[in-house]
Amino acid sequence: MQNISFEYPSWFLILCALAGLVVALLLYYREKTFRDQPRGLVWGMGLLRWLGYSLLAALLLSPLLRYLQTDRQEPVIVLAQDVSESIGMETDTAAYVAQWEALKASLSEKYQVVDYTFGAAVTPGGALQFKDKRTNLDAVLTEISDVYGSQNLGAVVLATDGIYNEGTNPAYRNLQLKAPVYTVGLGDTTQRRDLVIRRVFHNKIAYLEDRFSIQIDVTARGAAGSNTRMTVSRVGDSGSKELHTENISINKNDFFTTREVILDADRPGVQRYRISLSTIGEEVSTANNRRDIFIDVLDARQKVLLLAAAPHPDIAAIKQALATGKNNEIEIGYAGKFQGRMADFDLVVLHQLPSLKKNISAELSQLQRAKVPTLFVLGPNAPARAIGQAQDLLSFKGTSGAKGNDVSARTVPGFSLFTLSEELRQALPKFPPITAPFGEFTPGPGATVLLKQRIGRVETDYPLITLGESKGVRTGVIAGSGIWQWRLFDHLEYGNHERFDELISQVTQYLTIQEDKRRFRVSLPKNLFDENEPVQLDAELYNSSYELINEPEATVLITGPEGREYNFAFNRTSNAYTLNAGTLPVGNYRFLARTNSGGEDLSYNGRFSIQAVEVERYALEADHGLLRRLSDQYGGALLFPEELASLPGRLEAAGTVKPVLFETVNTRSVVHLKWIFFALLALFAGEWFMRRYFGGY
């Protein structure tokens, strides 16, 4: 349907025709050039002139052509195939793939077919290889809903065994699917004799010389009266070593038990532990009788020296706070009597040192040479000059021998070196006063103030706790002693020492974290990867001015189990390096990265591990009940592989899979029609030819 409208009144067309007539009459009414020619020739040329000018004038009225356009959207049939390992273990994949491809070809003759494969991820048009380590039913249905929910979706065909181990239960989701969902039940729902390590609960991190727990859920079906032996072993490059064994008696056909195993973290690094059950005979699968786990054992022990001028309650309070960290080794010494090496410690706390009587210049020199982080706790008679020479975070002008001030703590807004809990922030102003040296305190240029002093009710800008770098070493200064009262008040007020312990822990943790000064560094997002997860390494190279560069080539050698080596070259980014090493076999790996900058060979080494993903092996009974609920929820039906050939007939018989017609009214200016141009060209060219031919020009 087409019609023409004008931006001006349509009766203006009469004026256009009259204007064209006037032009034609002016040219041909008294024309004498063609006096000897037939009269009809003059009338013909006049007619062409009239039509051309009338049409040209009509175009000035901006005529619009309105027309109805009909679009046809064919129905979309989405085929989604589960390609996880459990399908391959329970299905004759060769025969089934032929049936699936035949269904796809049959539907494609009449409908627009879109196919997906899914497992851990959803892939459009993926290969049917049945190797995915996980299954996420919710993800594929969400993808179909998001992409095709607003289109002419005719039907969804979901082929799976109903077993999912990622995502939520899709039966409880309200997805925007306005089409029937036909599920294809794969696998076997029969409960067969089997012994399974169902789940293993453990921490991913443990600390060296600590103990950790592993909780193991064991299930068995159809195995009443059987016995199995559970073994926990540590697997290394040189073989495996049994760490724990116990017998489990299965007393009923539907058996479940949880066993806890306590192990010692006696080796640093990522440790691989294998939990295995001896077979009970005639099991449907023995692959689920074993599970490997990886635990990263950290050697995070910190050696802390509390060096004091004399015995003081503060020493006990700090020691008890640091002892809450199981990996802190704390030693107490006294100035003039301590014979150890400062370089052997990760942190040294100097309580009321240096003092008027004990200068400890030798110890301070050792600390400076060894770059050992130091925390100064000042006494009321702290010598201002000696304190100023020992560090440059805090300076004060005081009088030797003067009585100290009783000061309370107040928090500083905007402190950003670390985060204090809200409970600690609320408690700090309530803590009792401690004794600070008398004088004026001034923070240094590299200092960050954690707490300030409040003298009585007067809030001052004098720092109470100051942190930062002093002479290239992380340093802290507590400008007062008597903090044992804070720990005691914390217990009296709140029933525990958590707030005081948090304060000391946060301060000492900040001081002991050392910045990596190496010019070539390699980092990994984590040190434990799944076997189906690519290993990503990122590297940074700094020049002598510590500016990022990436001109030199950087390589890495990854060595895996049994000494197998993988050589890679890093790819350059804008100013660094990156490498995707792909997926690697299960096991422990070490790497050595190398580069050369300015004639200097630089290297960086590290470790990571790959853990097996075997969740698809632990549940082999298909859940067709879930598939039936999904089909009922969306108006489809549960089918089986041998019924796939009947699906096109079902869809046609249902009569719901039809194309959709969309009608759109379009408006277009007549000026843009090409035939208008050619019509004008023909009229004016015809008149010009006739005048030229018969002697008019």
- The stretch 194-212 carries a mean pLDDT of 85
Q: Is the pTM of this model over 0.75?
A: no
Q: Where in the chain is the domain with CATH 3.40.50.410?
A: 75-185+627-654
Q: Would you place residue 484 in the very low, low, confident or very high pLDDT band (cuts 50, 70, 90)?
A: very high
Q: Which residue has the higher pLDDT, 301 or 349?
A: 349
Asked if the model's pLDDT at residue 39 lies above 90, the reply is no
* Non-local CB neighbours of 661 within 8 Å, separated by 6+ positions: 70, 71, 72, 73
Biggest CA-to-CA distance, the chain = 141
Q: Would you place residue 423 in the very low, low, confident or very high pLDDT band (cuts 50, 70, 90)?
A: very high
Asked if the model's pLDDT at residue 54 lies above 60, the reply is yes
pLDDT tens-place string over residues 101-154 = 999 999 998 899 999 999 888 999 888 888 888 889 999 999 999 998 888 888
- Residue 679's pLDDT is 83
Q: Would you place residue 537 in the very low, low, confident or very high pLDDT band (cuts 50, 70, 90)?
A: very high
pLDDT tens-place string over residues 65-113 = 777 776 777 889 999 999 988 887 777 888 899 999 999 999 998 899 9
Q: Where in the chain is the domain with CATH 3.40.50.880?
A: 302-512
Mean pLDDT score of the chain, rounded to an integer?
A: 87
Spatial separation of the C-alpha atoms in residues 191 and 194, rounded to whole Å: 8
Asked if the model's pLDDT at residue 511 lies above 70, the reply is yes
CATH superfamily of 194-298: Immunoglobulins (2.60.40.10)
- Under CATH, which architecture does the 75-185+627-654 domain have? 3-Layer(aba) Sandwich (3.40)
Q: Which fold has domain 520-611?
A: Immunoglobulin-like (2.60.40)
- Please give the CATH number for the structural domain made up of 302-512: 3.40.50.880
- Residue 357's pLDDT is 86
Asked if the model's pLDDT at residue 621 lies above 70, the reply is yes
- Residue 34's pLDDT is 67
Asked if the model's pLDDT at residue 323 lies above 80, the reply is yes
pLDDT tens-place string over residues 633-686 = 998 999 999 999 999 988 888 877 877 766 777 777 777 778 888 888 888 887
Cβ-contact 185, 89 below 8 angstroms: no
- The stretch 348-373 carries a mean pLDDT of 91
SS3 94: helix
- Residue 485's pLDDT is 96
Burial of residue 78 (CB within 10 Å: 0-12, 13-18, 19+) is buried
- Residue 414's pLDDT is 86
C-alpha distance across the termini of the chain, in Å: 45
Asked if the model's pLDDT at residue 259 lies above 90, the reply is yes
Share of the chain above pLDDT 90, in %: 44
Spatial separation of the C-alpha atoms in residues 107 and 124, rounded to whole Å: 17
